[in-house]
């Protein structure tokens, strides 16, 4: 079963950057853990493929109980994209859906309301470029080494 982060209540905000084909880097702020760097093999899909997306969850709850359930959540988070989309299934209403597997095959999923995530325009990339470059330089080699 996938960890859903308290039905997304434990997900505060973050971004995913797929400007480099085959790699998604980003940061997510989680209850009890704070900011977590992400480096995943794969791509965003559909209309968000190759783009930078941001999200902010107005339902965030900084719940101390989150730490008990997320104690083994790897930081930084390395793994593989399963499905990152704003329209994950034709029979469901469109909504941000981020699903991945960690290197140790833990299954994670974040689902948000449609208004809680957006594509970042190039003029607004400045706020994430430095962090994305640092994550890419530091973590892509680890991700590549684990694939071999």
Domain boundaries, the chain: 11-147
Position 147 scores a pLDDT of: 65
Q: Is the dihedral of CA 41, 45, 49, 55 positive or negative?
A: negative
What global pTM score does this model have?
0.93
pLDDT in tens, 87-121: 888 877 889 999 999 999 999 999 999 999 999 99
Q: What is the CA radius of gyration of the chain?
A: 14
Position 1 scores a pLDDT of: 55
C-alpha to C-alpha distance for 90 and 10, rounded to whole angstroms:
27
C-alpha to C-alpha distance for 77 and 14, rounded to whole angstroms:
13
Position 23 scores a pLDDT of: 97
Contact 117, 46 (CB under 8 A): no
């Amino acid at each position: 079963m996938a960890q859903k982060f308290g039905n997304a209540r434990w997900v505060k905000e973050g971004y995913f950057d797929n400007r480099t084909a085959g790699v998604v880097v980003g940061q997510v702020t989680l209850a009890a853990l704070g900011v977590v760097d992400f480096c995943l093999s794969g791509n965003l899909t559909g209309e968000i493929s190759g783009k930078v997306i941001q999200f902010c969850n107005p339902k965030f709850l900084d719940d101390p109980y989150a730490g008990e359930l997320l104690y083994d959540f790897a930081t930084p988070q390395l793994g593989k994209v399963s499905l990152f989309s704003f329209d994950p299934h034709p029979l469901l209403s469109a909504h941000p859906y981020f699903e991945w597997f960690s290197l140790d095959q833990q299954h994670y999923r974040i689902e948000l309301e449609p208004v809680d995530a957006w594509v970042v325009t190039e003029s607004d990339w400045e706020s994430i470029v430095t962090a994305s470059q640092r994550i890419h330089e530091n973590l892509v080699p680890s991700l590549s080494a684990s694939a071999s």
